[in-house]
Amino acid sequence: MVDAVSPLNMTNPVDAMFETFRELVEKDRILKDKIAEVTHGMEYWTSRIVAILQKTHTFKDGQDADLREVQNILQNEVRQHLVKLAALISPVSYYRYHDNFRFIIQKLCFVVTYAHFLQHGILLSRDKVAEIFNIKVDPAMGFHLDVEDYLFGLLQLANELSRFSINAVVVGNSILPFKIADFLYDLDAKFRLLNLKNDGLRRRYDALKYDVQRAEQVVYDLTIRGLKRPADEKSFSG
């Protein structure tokens, strides 16, 4: 028994409704494609920044020039892409499409805080990170820097610094590991101020203790070999 398929009748409100749904889904897909295009461009420039910053693990000369190049990329290309992304997101809901760009935002927070640590040795706050990107922190203002994305970026920073600590010892820099260990202790203490529930951020935070442990291990290895903690932290130089 073959069911006769009734022809589409646009005066039928159900058919008209489903026609509208199909159009809406198509518009949604087009917007997601545009967002993916912008985030793809941001991923390229972020990968460039990460590649430049990876040179710090070799401790060769030229870090100042590398950091200036990173600043240039952040001030020009990354800001341009963020402006494009904000223009796409502002008319619609930020969190409806948040999954399409959250990872690149987290990575950007990581590279900005990492570059800032290399220059100044302190933690960059979310407000200052948002200033560098020229975006807001208040969710009511539309396109903004979500607090969880910033915290994810910090956890990536901790993972990178524990690597940095080991590579510093390889090239004979015995001062930097103490500074990194202090920084990671402080970061762990600050994260304990948060009341993280059992979600992705909590799972990612649970890995922070291994980064702290690695930094502690490096400090321990230095100490038993007679390389003492420097009395004056101002002697720190990358």
Q: Which of 47, 35, 134 is nearest to 93 (CA)?
A: 35
One-letter amino acid of 189: A
Site string for another protein, 199-228 (x = CB under 8 A): -----------------xx-xx--xx---x
Chosen residue from 193, 226, 235, 237 binding another protein by CB under 8 A: 193
Pick the closer one to another protein by CB: 42 or 151: 151
Residue 140 interacts with another protein (CB under 8 A): yes or no: yes
Hey, which residues between 100 and 139 contact another protein (CB under 8 A)?
123, 125-127, 139
φ/ψ region of 60 (left if φ > 0, alpha if ψ in -120 to 50, else beta) reads: beta
37 contacts 58 by C-beta, under 8 angstroms: no
Chosen residue from 21, 44, 103, 236 binding another protein by CB under 8 A: 21
Residue 93 interacts with another protein (CB under 8 A): yes or no: yes
Residue 29 interacts with another protein (CB under 8 A): yes or no: yes
Q: Which of 124, 156, 145 is nearest to 82 (CA)?
A: 145
Select from 24-32, 46-54, 57-65, 113-121 the region that touches another protein (CB under 8 A): 24-32
Element (H, E) at 61: none
Q: Has 160 been labeled as part of a binding site?
A: yes
Q: Which of 154, 167, 133, 160 is nearest to 59 (CA)?
A: 167
Element (H, E) at 32: helix 13-54
How many residues are there in the chain? Answer: 238
Select from 4-12, 47-55, 64-72, 75-83 the region that touches another protein (CB under 8 A): 4-12
Element (H, E) at 65: helix 63-73
CB of 182 to another protein, least distance (A): 6
Question: Distance between CA 182 and CA 117 in Å, rounded?
Answer: 13
CB of 144 to another protein, least distance (A): 10
Strand-pair partners of 136: 144
Q: Which residue is it, tokens 């020009």? A: 76
Chosen residue from 40, 96, 203, 225 binding another protein by CB under 8 A: 96
Q: How many residues bind another protein (CB under 8 A)?
A: 56
One-letter amino acid of 110: F
Binding residues for another protein, per CB under 8 A? 3, 5-6, 8, 13-15, 17-22, 24-26, 29, 93-96, 98, 123, 125-127, 139-140, 147-148, 150-151, 182, 185-186, 188-197, 216-217, 219-220, 223-224, 228-229, 231-233
Binding-site residues for Mg(2+): 160
